Structure 1
Amino acid sequence: MAFSANPLALSVPDQTFETWLRDSGYLSILDQRTTDLHRISTSTSTSTSTPTTTPNPSPPITTTTFFLNQIGTLISLFTINPFSKLTNDDFSGDTPPWTSGFIGYSDSYSFPSSRAQARMRVTENNKRYCRNYATLFILFFACSLYQIPIALVGLVSSLALWDLFAHCGNRWGLDAYPVARECLLRLLQCATAVILFVCNVQLAVIYALGVSYAVMMLHASFRKLTPVKQATKGKQR
């Protein structure tokens, strides 16, 4: 049975449709569509690259190209700026739930099919889970301080020194002597820098930044984009 063409049907190019999905906020549909198109193109290229007349096909070349593309996608993560769309309003919102929102389930992860998809996932997931990533950084920094006790001593000493300065400033009325207060403030800053450097606090910060950045990039690139309402429902439950 043949169907006649509908004159009211609207056909738009794929690029225009993807732009509309992106501008309308349907990033989860765009993410899934990109994955499906890549899977279809990969299966089509594999079937066409294996002729039936040759007894010895060459699947190793296709496999090698596939792995090279994956490695190239992972390397491209170092060129992505995850904070390009991050604003102060993203930190003022509610923290997404860790189980159903941040971690998700086994089907919530997939390898990014292209560099464009990896870039889209990193920027959007960083906006959505920025509070979770900040909490992980604090956790990793605390673990680093636990591994480097002298850094913990230096950090506590610096905080105690600043608290002592605030207490003495209020007691002695340093606000009435701005020049003396400014000199003491500069001297305290230099002393804090020396204490932090001698106690290797910068190593703890570097370790925490490196580990948290790697976890953030891997999670944001492999985590599928989900509708925002789904995360809200998960938190309400």
Structure 2
Amino acid sequence: MAFSANPFSLSVPDPAFESWLRDSGYLELFDHRTSAAAATSASDDAVSTITGGFSASLLSRFATLFSLLAINPFSKLAPDDFAGDTPLWTTGFLGSVDSYSFPSSSQQARMRIHENIKRFARNYAMLLIVFFACALYQMPVALAGLLASLALWELFKFCSDKWEFDRYPAIRQFLIRVAQCATVVLLTLLNVQMALFYGFAISYGVMILHAAFRKLSPSMKPSGQR
């Protein structure tokens, strides 16, 4: 049996509805209620752990962890998320021990990841830079290659300003292509891409785990915003 659409119903786009949930605080309330319900269910099932409940709970947690690999954490990330102030690393980003809990389901983990990455986008970007710098520190050859590539482009800029390559667009475009090819060859030979891969892989793992286990806290709004 098919139902006809109600012409008086109000259709709200998903981004607008999600924004209203975020601004009104219902996302945090839903996350806390879900965590509390999961904790209550776990305590009620404590008696049945001897008969196999423990293994079922363990499998469920493993399934939730494996589901993190299928989540696209950047699907709801927008450029505006990098324009705000950086949340405090202590109270905002890290929080206390009570600020973390195991997600009760893959749906809750997905909601936490998407929302926390929007809120802590600048923190995660700084972590990427830190891990990349640490990887370069452990790979001095790659660090030398990165510095050499930066020096190459500075040399190109100096020569372009000195000999006024802007008056010869064809020559300037040819030299840019040559400099790009030389940069790619230099970075590849000196394994800079491996340092970037290590930095990105470690920061990505830290980001996913932190965003999935970090409870949603009330978002901080400017004092003039209601």
- Where does 1:61-100 land on structure 2 (aligned, <5 Å)? 61-100=52-91
Aligned to 1:37: 37
% same residue: 54
Aligned to 1:170: 161
Larger radius of gyration: 1
Shift of 1:46: 5.1
Shift of 1:42: 3.5
CA deviations 1:157-215 (Å, max 9, x no partner) are 00000011011101101011011111111111000000000000000000001000000
Compute the RMSD of aligned alpha carbons: 2.0
CA deviations 1:27-76 (Å, max 9, x no partner) are 111101111222333344556xx5xxxxxxx6251000000000000000
Q: Is there any run of 5+ residues in structure 2 with no aligned partner, and where?
A: 1-17
Q: Is there any run of 5+ residues in structure 1 with no aligned partner, and where?
A: 1-18, 51-57
When normalised by structure 1's length, the TM-score is 0.81
Aligned to 1:27: 27
Shift of 1:93: 0.4
- The separation in 2 between residues aligned to 1:232 and 1:221, in whole angstroms, is 26
Residue among 173, 177, 196 paired with 1:182: 173
Equivalent position amino acid for 1:114 in 2: S
- Where does 1:114-193 land on structure 2 (aligned, <5 Å)? 114-193=105-184
Kept in 2: contact 1:22–1:30 (CA 8 A): no
SS at match of 2:74: coil
CA deviations 1:65-90 (Å, max 9, x no partner) are 00000000000000111111110000
SS at match of 1:93: coil
When normalised by structure 2's length, the TM-score is 0.85
Equivalent position amino acid for 2:41 in 1: S
Equivalent position amino acid for 1:213 in 2: Y
Aligned to 1:10: none
Shift of 1:23: 8.0
Distance verdict in 2 for CA 1:131–1:22, change over 3 Å: closer
- The separation in 2 between residues aligned to 1:226 and 1:72, in whole angstroms, is 25
- The separation in 2 between residues aligned to 1:192 and 1:22, in whole angstroms, is 44
Aligned to 1:101: 92
